[in-house]
Structure 1
Amino acid sequence: MPPAIHSMIATPAPARRRLLSVFLFACALLLTACSREPAPRAALPQDVYIWQRQWTPALRAALAASNAQVARWHVLAAELGVSGRWIDVTPDSAQLAGAGKPLLMTVRINGQLARFDAGAIEAHILERLDAWRRGGLAPAALEIDYDCPTARLPEYAAFLARLKPALGATALTITALPTWLASPRLEALLATADEATLQVHAVLDPRQGLFDPERAQQWMAQFAQRTRKPWHVALPAYGSRVVWDGNGGIAAVESERPALAGGVASELVAQPRQLARFVAGIERDPPKGLAGIAWFRLPTGDDRRAWSLSTWLAVLERRPLQERLEVRFAGASTGEAGGALREIVLDNAGGADAPLPARIRIDAACGNGNDAGNAAGDGINGYTLDSDAQGSYLRLTQAGLLRAGASRRIGWLRCRDGVRGRGDTAS
């Protein structure tokens, strides 16, 4: 007989009843605790990169609109180009000081820099730090964004070790690449900084897209095993246009700034719904040491490849994204060839940016495969007109987003008998 049961039997009746009541009450508490839903985790703190060189009214408005949701601002202060020339950025000191949030003064060093002059780079960084302080800003940290080749990690670590004592009470943070995970020198590099931000977007061949959630999860899990310091993950809130040359190489990447390069172009897009799901996942089960998210970059009305401000705020506030796509015919006119010309327009009447549909069926009286001789038409702005046994449809050739409240002309039809019908985003 188990000792606990024997003890209860040997106890006098009144005491045994009291002991039994206590025992049953404890079991009830235990069962209640086991059946209770686990408490939801708090949202991860969210940092944001201000990567614009010009402080326009649109940038100031976007900062003011999102400041309440932001833990820290990463502000581009200087950029060292591949040619070795510095471009300094003068921020709006009054607005940043008034935001009341910790600031990271971010210095970008081009990863393809031919010669890394540690002394000259350190001197310029310290000069920029002094300029910020003279302007009334007290950055909580200096952030170095240097996408150097993995072979240069020892040189980079030595530079950081030399720089850190010159910063005084200002913390030192760095960005990190997934490609560095293969290096046995990574721990030594991360140990020189107070904090790191792992970039999981735009780090692979552009043919593989801008962001892959499965690979990002894998990289984060690996990175968590390599550092003993707090770290953030950098996530995208933008798109890029990649221009390919005649040999299949990358001629230019256009993102926050236009690129003056010709060639065949393709669009890479960070999808808001995909990123919202990713954030929900890492908040449910965060990797070890993850201290927050760093969004790249602050969207503004001037930035046509970033998310709209309404979508951006919905993701930051963890609100549902509500898109509403509709297709309509517009612009009746009669051309020289006769017949009615209709533009095909895609509208987003919702409050969130929507991915462009892969296929839009055109249900028009003269726009089907059985009456091709009575119609002419084509797709535009990322669409081409095709047909199958069911009729005509517009096929997406360039990925993209249609901003909340925006419209896009995606094709046209000319019919001798006029266009009677509608467009449908369902494939």
Structure 2
Amino acid sequence: MRYCTLKYGYKFLQLVVIFSVFCLTQTTHLNRILRQDVYIWQKKWVDALKPAIEQTMPYITGWRFLAGEYEPDGQVIYPSVQFDLLQQTNLPLTAVYRFDRLRPLPSSDEILSLILQSPSYKRYHIHHIELDLDWPTSKLKLYIQLLQSLKTKLPEDIELNITMIPDWMRSPVFPQLTEQIPNPVLQIHSVDNPQVGLFTTQNAFAYIQKMNRLTHHDFYIALPTYGLKIQATPTGNIYAIEGENDFKSGNFGKELYSDPQQVRSLINSLQENTPSHLKGIIWFRLPIANDKRNWSLDTWRAMISHTLLKGKIITQEIPDPNNLGAIKLTLVNQGNITLPLPKTVSLRCPMGDGFFPYQLTTTSKGQYSLSLIQQTAPLNTHQQRVIGWMRCE
């Protein structure tokens, strides 16, 4: 009897220990703190970068900056990076080298030259390197051969990394690619399908889960903060992409942007169920004051500090000093989140008109309003936009 009591008591103790370890493992897994780096994607470093870097430094774990680029015409560009400013933050630095997708596939010698001749490596000895090459999925096997060749030529002090795109995971050689690089970056935003947009929570989470199944190594994900305007044919083929300025198409084109609420939804899902190999998030890109197609700094800081996202666009009526009796209608974003323009704005006066992208419309009951005819770039926090006027005489 005593033997039975001791035996089952010992078994019970074993179960308690196993259960405790399991709970501890799960808690650690679900609440694991992910690294948060950010891309600084500027060819010319402007004054607005300094306050943006200083204000976001407390929230992040590292900087990844554009250090060199091969453009479509073969020209090599080395951005005017303020290395002293970055080094003063005492955060890890990664130099990113980009090859435009419109160029022919580069050789290992071209990549090597781009890196070794850059100020980042030659003068400042930044040896954490990331390659941004959007290769066609059909040529992924050639990419593997390129990386193998490149690694034999790189100096021993260089730690090589690459970005990846979700479409590559369709290739049967993708697992072999993941064995070449220790901590790749999966870029889960793209403009390949204008109907889908830049980013959706559902697609992004599916990509991350698939990546977690296909690799045995830790990886990062790149999340978007930016917007774009695209030009596409009626069949959906994209033939032009605009970033910060309307330099090609004026008022024409389709605006795509990353919805902060969707991105927050993904982050919440990852916190509740963190994939075992996910190491961190890299934000593309650091918001600065004059970046018209990016989140505001307020929105991004609210995102990375896990602050409540609050959206509120109001319409202000401002008398026009140059036109007696006329009232300017101005949209103002009073929240901390970038928001799309409202589809309609009601008028309380019988006369008025809209400015692009709004036009005057009336209902069957004779009520006047300004209707959005084309979605343009969203309204950032503390930003204003005049959309029309009205007169109450």
TM-score, normalization: structure 1? 0.80
The equivalences for 1:167-186 within 5 A come to: 167-186=155-174
Residue 97 of structure 1, CA deviation: 1.3
Aligned partners of 2:344, 2:251: CA distance in 1, in Å?
26
The structure 1 residue matched to 2:335, chosen from 339, 350, 368, is 350
Q: Deviations over 1:35-82 (max 9, x none)?
A: xx9687144211111111111110122111111211121110111122
Aligned AA (2:74): G
Q: 1:150 to 1:406 in 2, by over 3 A?
A: same
The structure 1 residue matched to 2:124, chosen from 136, 141, 145, is 136
Alignment of 1:154 onto 2:141: yes
Match of 1:393 in 2: 369
Classify the secondary structure of the residue corresponding to 1:344: strand
Of the two, which has the highest radius of gyration?
A: 1
Match of 2:75 in 1: 85
Aligned partners of 2:256, 2:120: CA distance in 1, in Å?
35
The equivalences for 1:292-311 within 5 A come to: 292-311=280-299
Aligned partners of 2:111, 2:255: CA distance in 1, in Å?
34
Q: 1:273 to 1:115 in 2, by over 3 A?
A: closer
Aligned AA (1:125): I
Classify the secondary structure of the residue corresponding to 1:277: helix
Aligned partners of 2:322, 2:68: CA distance in 1, in Å?
55
Classify the secondary structure of the residue corresponding to 1:300: coil
Between the two proteins, what is the percent identity of the paired residues? 29
Q: 1:258 to 1:192 in 2, by over 3 A?
A: farther
Aligned AA (2:129): L
Classify the secondary structure of the residue corresponding to 2:49: helix
The structure 2 residue matched to 1:317, chosen from 305, 314, 317, is 305
The equivalences for 1:407-418 within 5 A come to: 407-415=384-392, 417=393
Aligned partners of 1:314, 1:263: CA distance in 2, in Å?
31
Residue 275 of structure 1, CA deviation: 1.3
Match of 1:359 in 2: 344
Match of 1:68 in 2: 58
Classify the secondary structure of the residue corresponding to 1:64: helix
The structure 2 residue matched to 1:404, chosen from 381, 390, 393, is 381
The structure 2 residue matched to 1:382, chosen from 351, 357, 360, is 357
Match of 2:110 in 1: 120
Classify the secondary structure of the residue corresponding to 1:189: helix
Contact kept in structure 1, 2:67 and 2:78, CA below 8 Å: yes
Q: Deviations over 1:370-414 (max 9, x none)?
A: xxxxx3x33324323333346333333215422222211122223
Aligned partners of 1:219, 1:282: CA distance in 2, in Å?
12
Aligned AA (2:368): S
Question: Would you say how many aligned residue pairs link Structure 1 and Structure 2?
Answer: 378
The structure 2 residue matched to 1:57, chosen from 36, 47, 68, is 47
Aligned partners of 1:64, 1:137: CA distance in 2, in Å?
23
The structure 2 residue matched to 1:211, chosen from 183, 199, 217, is 199
Residue 248 of structure 1, CA deviation: 6.6
Q: 1:156 to 1:65 in 2, by over 3 A?
A: same
Match of 2:211 in 1: 223
Classify the secondary structure of the residue corresponding to 2:332: strand
Aligned partners of 2:276, 2:73: CA distance in 1, in Å?
39
Aligned AA (1:355): P
Q: 1:137 to 1:382 in 2, by over 3 A?
A: farther
Classify the secondary structure of the residue corresponding to 1:310: helix
Aligned partners of 2:333, 2:205: CA distance in 1, in Å?
31
Gaps of 5+ in 1: 12-18, 368-374, 418-427
The structure 2 residue matched to 1:285, chosen from 267, 273, 283, is 273
Aligned residues: CA RMSD: 3.1
Match of 1:163 in 2: 150
Contact kept in structure 1, 2:245 and 2:292, CA below 8 Å: no
